[in-house]
Amino acid sequence: MDLLQAGRLLRIRLQDGHENGLVAVLSGRSLVGAVLHGLAQLRAGGTSTEDLATTIVVTTGLLNRLEGVRDAAVRQHAAQGGSYGALASSMDGVTRATAQYRRDALVKKDPSAMEQWATGS
């Protein structure tokens, strides 16, 4: 599949059945663009309440997706036998005990809709 953006050609090779994953990534990408647009509006000042509401909506959507990606990574880290210490190191300033608590609480629950979105399941 070839995509053209900003005058550059991006070639993405997909295995059979991975087209839905690409669509999910591209939809997430449009959220990033909308959030960056909202950030630019905030920095410029004078943003309307309608534009601020749009920024809140798209930022919330992006945060939900990012949480799903993080939770899916933590769940897979646990499934692959990753250590609590390594997990704590990747959580930026979190103690081993906190990483253990968070991972254990996560794996006790079913994957969220956003986790399923992240993994394409």
Counting Cβ atoms within 10 Å, is residue 3 exposed (0-12), middle (13-18) or buried (19+)?
exposed
Q: Note whether residue 41 is domain-resident.
A: yes
The per-residue pLDDT for range 72-113, each reduced to its tens digit, is 999 999 999 999 999 999 998 899 999 999 999 999 999 999
Residue 107's nearest CA partner among 83, 82, 81, 75 is 75
Q: What is the mean pLDDT of the chain?
A: 82
Q: Which residue has the higher pLDDT, 38 or 14?
A: 38
Q: Note whether residue 6 is domain-resident.
A: no
Q: Note whether residue 14 is domain-resident.
A: no
pLDDT at 26 over 60: no
CA distance 89 to 100: 12
Q: How much is the pLDDT for 17?
A: 55
Q: Note whether residue 68 is domain-resident.
A: yes
Q: Fill in the amino acid letter for 29.
A: R
Q: Fill in the amino acid letter for 76.
A: Q
Q: Which residue has the higher pLDDT, 25 or 49?
A: 49
Q: How much is the pLDDT for 2?
A: 37
C-alpha 60, offset from chain centre: 11
Give the pTM: 0.72
Q: For the chain, what percent of residues have pLDDT higher than 90? A: 55
CA distance 25 to 30: 9
Q: Note whether residue 7 is domain-resident.
A: no
Q: Note whether residue 76 is domain-resident.
A: yes
Q: Note whether residue 55 is domain-resident.
A: yes
Residue ranges making up the domain that contains 83: 19-119
Q: How much is the pLDDT for 101?
A: 98
Cβ atoms of residues 33 and 80 within 8 Å: no
Total domains in the fold of the chain = 1
Q: Note whether residue 94 is domain-resident.
A: yes
